[in-house]
Chain A
Amino acid sequence: MRSKRVFLICAVLVIGVLLFSLSACAKEETTTSSAPATTAAPSTTAGPETTAGPTTTGAPAGEVKTLKIGTIMPQTGPLAILGLAFTRAWDLYAEDVNQAGGVKIGNDTYQIKFIHEDSKGSAEGASTAASKLVNQDKVDLVIGAILESEMAAINQVTEAAGVLYAQANANIPGAPQDVSSDKPLQVRPFINHDETGPIDLDYIAKTYPEAKKIALSVPDIGYEGMVERLQAQVAARGMQIVAQEKWPWGTTDFVPIMTKLNAAKPDIIWAMVSGQANDQLKAARQLGFKGVFVSNSPLGADVFVVTVQDPAALTDVICNSVDVTHPTPEVKKLMDAWQAKWPNDPFISDAVHAYDMPWVMVQVMQKAGAIGDAATLVKTMEGMTNPGDIQTLHGPGYIGGADRFGVNRVLYRPLPLSRIMNGQIEFIGFMEPVKE
């Protein structure tokens, strides 16, 4: 009995020491996911005109008020990685604003306070979080949600309470949960991923004129509308979609999907908005696909380089995410702030989109001259349709969407375009969205 106790105590001590040393060492470690140093070709076009960052007031003159923004993101469960990137970016935005003395809206100066709530990746969680933020915390604005079900749940609460809701994502642009005229207090300071379609197709037509046959890899989460839209854009350029495969959410092994797509002998494999486009590229190349690979996902080109590893596979890859190897000064500032605060975690390019969201909403409030009255704010936002009306980390943008969603409540801003050749990232430039 005594020897058992001694063994148990020793075992606990050994585990404790191991965990402690592992934790300490891991903190020093540079993870393989961090951005690699790449020697990139010079960009062919200049980046966007740089903006001054969030408009702040300097030291406040009088009473400083608080702008309370409630956020609802999955902070637990498989989607927590996205929630984490977004909430961190929002915290960094608040730090930037508050350290500069706050933001001037109308005659008042506001410090920004975020109240983060966990949606748990579910409609129920999102609804509970929204109720708490609206009824208990009395927030001025709610931002958040990754899933369409979460958006619908939040909107039900915010509309009833007359609080402005800015959705943080659009998996399926034009879905019933997206912005529309029947949701008068819902806006989207976030561009649709599929706006990259015409940009990528034009670039391919110019750079790879022989490439005509496209195979589509599509997550099975309701992308039918996006596929239809892409089909029309493809047809308009004399190209053709020769194969299309849907795969369920949670797929990790893409060899079966790519085996099937590759059988159609495409010139281009197009991975539609997916965080696993790198796995798809790896599988496609392993199966002998040598054509152009397009990823219009949030996945950065640097993530492809680090995770796919094989330079032979990392060729003729077109990416539409923020290129963290060629950041604008503002993005670089954000990246540096991230690295200073969370040195062990690689910068996630989603943070750039996220940082823009409260910034866009603050610009709308500044234009309206007040933080209250959600309906007035929406009306003001709907009027900011001229290029340059909105500043973002990607460059000057505007509010649009009426042609597609019936209301002008969606952020449009320049979209980055990069290409990977022989394992090296080439930044092509920031491209203006094309209306088609």
Chain B
Amino acid sequence: MSSLDLWLQATVNGIALGWLYVLMALGLTLILSIMGILQLAHGEIYMLGAYAVHYLVGRGLGLYPAIATSMFIMAVLGIILERGLFRPRSGREVVLCSIVISTGLTLILTSAIVVIFGLYTKSLPLLATGSVEIFGAAVPKDRILAIGFSVLALVLLYLFLKKTRLGLAMIASAQNREGSFLKGINPNRMSMAAMAIGCALAALAGALAGAILQLQPYMGALPMIKGLVIIVLGGLGSIPGALIGGLILGLIDGIVPVFFSPAVASVGPLVVVILVLLFRPKGLLGHD
């Protein structure tokens, strides 16, 4: 295998991982920019989404309908969480409360999955088997499909945000909550929409990752950390920043272990974040 083939294989794998990270980070950044909270249980929504697919597939539903249903269920759960737990109330410190609530939620959701499904690793049906040859390098088909689904989700999100009234209202609310309120945009509705979309994206990421890798109750922790690194790297609240940050992290995870070592790859993202923050304290595409 030539060095070029190795590069190609590593790059495609990195891009596939990167897109999964992007899905996670998009939800996080959407929630952060519109609601102003850090939803630390987002990794658990990712895990819950994957387990919902596992459950639905076990009930006889096909993989793709199960993924769509899981996204819908997580969106509804997001709305319930927003209305029941995260909605700002007078006299309540929003940021601190959200951190405490989402940390508790993390423990509750993980424990619930352990109780219901057990600690044992579960599997989802494969997205695809085998690989395709691109310039002599074998590229796993399931990763190509994961990239396809993730790109599709991002395009749909982009169209939603740019072409629909609700999407435009969400952008306005994210840019200036008070100003948009004076223009008649209900911030609570925007928060609800952000949680619904964010949770649906996390469910999609969880389902894709679950089909490529495996399911276990603690699977949400690492993507959550990656998601946080990405939004810091890309700029808090910036959707293009989340996209670029996710792809950078994915490429680091895909390429560095092949040409250096997995240990270097685990340090890589932190080094990049430190360097970026040194020169651009608001992240790559962050703004005031």
Contact = CB atoms under 8 A, between A and B. Distances in A.
Nearest to A7: B83
Contact of A31 (B1, B58, B59, B212): B58
Contacts of A283: 140
B230 interface: no
Contacts of B263: 220, 248
Nearest to A265: B1
B130 A33 contact: no
A287 B138 contact: yes
The B interface, classified by DSSP as helix, strand, loop or mixed, is helix
A307 B131 CA distance: 18
Contact of B122 (A7, A32, A255): A32
A32 B84 contact: no
Contact of B266 (A248, A252, A259, A286): A248
A63 interface: no
Nearest to A313: B129
Interface stretch (B31-39, B198-206, B254-262): B254-262
Interface stretch (A19-27, A152-160, A317-325): A19-27
Contacts of A307: 121, 123, 214
Contact of A252 (B13, B213, B254): B213
Interface in B166-223: 212-214, 218-219, 222
A256 interface: yes
Interface in A65-79: 78
Contacts of B222: 250, 252
A116 B234 CA distance: 47
Contacts of B6: 259-260, 263
B213 to A, nearest CB: 5
B44 interface: no
Interface string A50-87: 00000000000000000000000000001011001000
A136 interface: no
B80 A15 contact: yes
A253 B213 contact: yes
A246 interface: yes
B279 interface: no
Given A253-B213, A287-B140, A84 B119 contact: yes
A248 B122 contact: no
Nearest to A82: B119
A262 B122 contact: no
Interface stretch (B97-105, B110-118, B147-155, B237-245): B110-118
Given A252-B213, A260-B257, A26 B262 contact: no
A42 interface: no
Contacts of A252: 213-214, 219, 222
Contact of B257 (A256, A263, A346): A256
A99 B63 CA distance: 46
Given A253-B213, A253-B253, A259 B123 contact: no
B83 A256 contact: no
Interface string A29-49: 111110000000000000000
Contacts of B214: 252, 279, 307
Contacts of B84: 8, 11-12
B120 A23 contact: no
A60 to B, nearest CB: 37
A286 B130 contact: yes
A242 to B, nearest CB: 13
A361 to B, nearest CB: 27
A383 to B, nearest CB: 40
Given A11-B84, A252-B213, A288-B138, A26 B116 contact: yes
Among B54, B55, B117, B124, which residue has the most Cβ atoms of chain A within 10 A? B117
Contacts of A256: 10, 13, 253-255, 257-258, 262, 265
B25 interface: no
B254 to A, nearest CB: 6
B70 interface: no
Interface of B: 1, 5-6, 9-10, 13, 17, 54-55, 58-59, 80, 83-84, 112, 115-126, 129-131, 138, 140-143, 212-214, 218-219, 222, 253-255, 257-258, 261-263, 265-266
18 contacts: A7-B83, A8-B83, A26-B116, A29-B58, A33-B120, A81-B119, A81-B120, A250-B222, A252-B222, A257-B257, A259-B9, A263-B6, A265-B1, A279-B213, A307-B121, A309-B125, A345-B118, A348-B120
Complex A-B, nearest 9 residue pairs according to Cβ-Cβ distance, in ascending order: A256-B257, A288-B138, A286-B140, A310-B129, A81-B119, A263-B1, A255-B13, A307-B123, A11-B80
Given A255-B13, A307-B123, A309-B129, 16 more contacts: A12-B84, A15-B80, A31-B120, A32-B58, A33-B120, A33-B123, A252-B219, A256-B254, A257-B257, A259-B258, A279-B213, A286-B138, A287-B9, A306-B123, A307-B214, A346-B120
